Chains A and B, each alone.
Chain A
């Protein structure tokens, strides 16, 4: 049974003519122990997808099962608790609380669980040792380097033993040496049996993933298993050799890139156009039904 199962999930923003489609009937499931890298141009819906999976956002349509539980219509309070118990977040900008020291930052999720302070700090200390920062426990976040800060953030994401770890461009603010350390750490966590979802702009990083997903205009346009240490073929083509056949393609810009990806081409262009309009129609129909 998959840990994450999204069925026909759409996310719309705005009303009427101003409606924009962030996610377009996405079907997506993740098995336990997978390391999924999500790629795609900005505005393609990666973050929206992660926010919905991370229970920070609700889908407009569709269903979402997390660990066998229906979660898409839950109230804010229960979602908070599920976030606390089953999801760990790693952010591009680290997001440690500046007024707490490293140990307290790591222990933060446990505090909301209501554990006693000694238990909390003990557990946080153990996790910090795992990420190799046992000697930085009482430092303040601003006293750490970028790489160290992100390792603290990873420790925080791990401390409550989450079912899934969501990383939104974890190396986006780091130099390449620190990025390498972070990716090795994530790889180690993956090999320990954790499920990781990671958004990245850097195709090199997909080497660490066990599965690579490519998104465009709110849809998943490519989804491939990949071996450790290899960059999947379609990513390579996408990044390094985009063929522009006609002047028209050149003007279309990114969409020309998409045409170059074979399985998107098998579905013809008309269907993709239809897909974009469909949710809007659905939305309108719903409104009418209400009236």
Chain B
């Protein structure tokens, strides 16, 4: 009862000096909006990645050079090494053969990086990736083509390429540039097919197949003058049940091959998921933490204005005390006021972030997602900021001497 009265009082007090209230709220609005936007972008990216990984199927095993994860004796992931992606090295054909011969593995497909920038007439695409892979790649990852066909066993020595959607768009500027030719390291390759849009995974550049140019493995060796740099080997287990044992076998075989050193990472799809979401969570938390600093600054602004308000209303405090308000009641009044200020700011911040997210969806590939927990948490944080930064001014108000307050001009 008293709370609702206090809230009404606080709202009328905030409305009595609108500009000041808005400016004070601005700090909270920006703080909450930036936190909500970063968290929702992280959430959106995670959703996209999860979708992509799930589409690949549970029996797919990914083998990469470099130690991305730490495992305990039972093979459970206990930690993720974020820096492993910087200089992972590469596999050679040795490892590929070893994995192919591992029991439980049905088929494999390497991704051999060709260092070169594709050129079409006078246009280049420096942010694309050129890889060589085997003809079973498309089937392995279960991706269909929009136009044309993936190279088969028959044309594994032909100079053909299959390209991602974005390559078609950026390099050729058309939907289906089939039959057109591109130049890579002085070799001319003819476009044979265009993949359907892969579920795009922003922030994880190495996985963006939309801007990748695929050529037959043998051709890629020729193009890069015999050099082999396999950055990922995909292996498919016979079925979902054997995936675990197949992954374990790959691990032991490769460890043997590398002289007992486990300088590679074998990930099943579910583990892949765990690693990616772990990384994304960390990244999101970090950015959101930076954004939260603006919330802190906003909170200081609230505290500042509450101090002004308390001294401005010294006389009112005196009158209220004279007619029988206890210190606690005065404290509550001002605490409610700062909380209302922050919560209203928080709500406006959420509205702002919804608008910002809409713009992000329109102008970028990111698909931020605002969930109910994000809204509740951000309103909660705003409330906490209001209480934390409102406490000192409220205590000052509550401790004022009634006689001096009544004399205050």
**Chain A contact residues, CB within 8 Å of chain B:** 51, 54, 56-57, 76-77, 80-81, 83-85, 89, 91, 95-97, 99, 108-109, 111-114, 116-117, 156, 160
Name B315's closest neighbour in chain A (CB-CB): A95
Instruction: Report the minimum CB–CB distance from A225 to chain B (whole Å).
Output: 29
Most chain B CB inside 10 Å of its own CB: which residue of A109, A113, A160 = A109
Least CB distance from A245 to B in Å reads 38
User: Can you offer 20 A-B residue contacts whose CB atoms are under 8 A?
Assistant: A56-B321, A56-B406, A77-B326, A80-B325, A83-B324, A84-B323, A95-B315, A95-B318, A95-B406, A97-B316, A97-B319, A99-B12, A99-B13, A99-B16, A108-B320, A112-B320, A112-B323, A112-B324, A113-B324, A156-B323
Contacting A at CB under 8 A, from B2-16, are 2, 5, 12-13, 16
Which partner residue on chain B sits nearest A159 by CB separation?
A: B323
Q: Are B323 and A81 in contact (CB under 8 A)?
A: no
What residues on A are CB-neighbors of B406 within 8 Å?
A: 56, 91, 95
Report the Cα distance A15→B12, complex, angstroms. 44
Q: Least Cβ distance of A155 to chain B in Å?
A: 12
Q: How many residues of B contact A (CB 8 A)?
A: 23
* Residue with the highest number of chain B CB atoms closer than 10 Å, among A51, A57, A76: A76
User: Shortest CB–CB separation between residue A173 and chain B, in angstroms?
Assistant: 14
> Is B283 in the interface zone, CB < 8 Å from A?
no
Interface residues in B243-287 (C-beta closer than 8 Å to A): none
New contact pairs (14) apart from A112-B324, A112-B325, A112-B326, CB-CB < 8 Å: A51-B403, A56-B321, A77-B326, A80-B325, A80-B327, A83-B324, A84-B323, A89-B322, A91-B406, A95-B322, A96-B319, A112-B320, A114-B1, A114-B2
Name B313-340 residues within 8 Å CB distance of A: 315-316, 318-329
Check: B148 CB closer than 8 A to any chain A CB: no
7 tightest A-B contacts by CB? A84-B324, A80-B326, A109-B323, A95-B319, A83-B324, A56-B402, A89-B322
Cβ-defined contact, A77 with B328, below 8 A: yes
Chain B 276-314 near chain A by CB (<8 Å), digits 1 or 0: 000000000000000000000000000000000000000
Contact B403 A80 (CB under 8 A): no
Question: What is the CB-to-nearest-CB distance from A239 to chain B, in angstroms, rounded to a whole number?
Answer: 27
B1 touches A83 (CB 8 A): no
The interface centre, meaning the residue of A56, A81, A160 with most chain B CB atoms within 10 A of its CB, is: A56
Q: How far is the CA of A113 from the CA of B326 in the complex (A)?
A: 10
User: B326–A81 contact, CB under 8 A?
Assistant: yes
A116 to B5 CA separation, bound complex (whole angstroms) = 10
Enumerate chain B residues within 8 angstroms of A80, measured Cβ to Cβ. 321, 324-327
Which residue of chain A is the closest to B6 with respect to CB atoms?
A: A111
Q: How far is the CB of A58 from chain B (nearest CB, A)?
A: 11
- Interchain CA distance A114-B325 in the complex, whole Å: 11
Residues of A within 8 A of B329 (CB): 112
